[in-house]
Amino acid sequence: MDFLALRGFDGCREARVKVGDLELRIGIAHGLGNARHLLESIRKGEVEPFHAIEIMACPGGCVGGGGQPYHHGNMNIVRKRAEAIYREDAAKPLRKSHENPEIVRLYEEFLGKPLGEKSHHLLHTHYFKRHKV
């Protein structure tokens, strides 16, 4: 299932996704200022209640974040990067990591269960502030 309604670069938006008979309402915010605006709108009752809220600290989400090549604030670069990633992903025969035979084997032979102690210790990280170079 592709969640096309969730994609985009508007700072604050709403998406509706049909799952069976249920239409999920999802609030989405890019950037912490937009997150504050979305949360205030919810608190004041200015929007219908959401089933879920996605807040991304980085502009455009992870594709515009600190782990990516620096875009110097040019959101067109971030949009093009996102388009390329979605295009590449759509062409792949295997698109779900939990169905990847190598990942399944890794858990079976080495990590044990997902979210287990060993997998948590080896696969999870901690974040800290880094200064620009």
Tens-place pLDDT, residues 94-128: 888 889 999 999 999 999 999 899 999 999 887 88
Specify whether 86 is located in the same domain as 100. Answer: no
Tell me whether residue 129 is in a domain: no
* Average pLDDT of the residues in 29-42: 89
C-alpha 77/C-alpha 109 separation (Å) is: 41
In this structure, the answer to whether residues 88 and 99 fall within a common structural domain is: no
Cα gap 46→120, rounded to integer Å: 40
Neighbours of 113 (CB within 10 A): 10
Q: What is the structure's pLDDT at 9?
A: 57
Res 117: pLDDT? 93
Q: Does residue 27 have a pLDDT over 60?
A: yes
Would residue 64 count as lying in a domain? yes
- Cα–Cα distance for residue pair 128/54, rounded to 1 Å: 22
Q: How many domains does the chain have?
A: 2
DSSP secondary structure letter of residue 12: E
- Assigned token pair, 102: 């190598």
| Domain housing 17 | 4-94
Which residues, 6 or more positions from 98, have their beta carbon under 8 angstroms from its beta carbon?
104, 114
Are 19 and 80 members of one domain?
yes
| In a shared domain, residues 86 and 106 | no
Same domain as 106, residue 80: no
Q: Is residue 28 part of a domain?
A: yes
The pTM assigned to this predicted structure is 0.56
Residue 5 clears pLDDT 50, i.e. is over it: no
Quick one: CA torsion of 90, 93, 97, 99, rounded to 10 degrees?
A: 140
Residue 133 lies in a domain: no
**Residue 62, domain member (yes or no):** yes
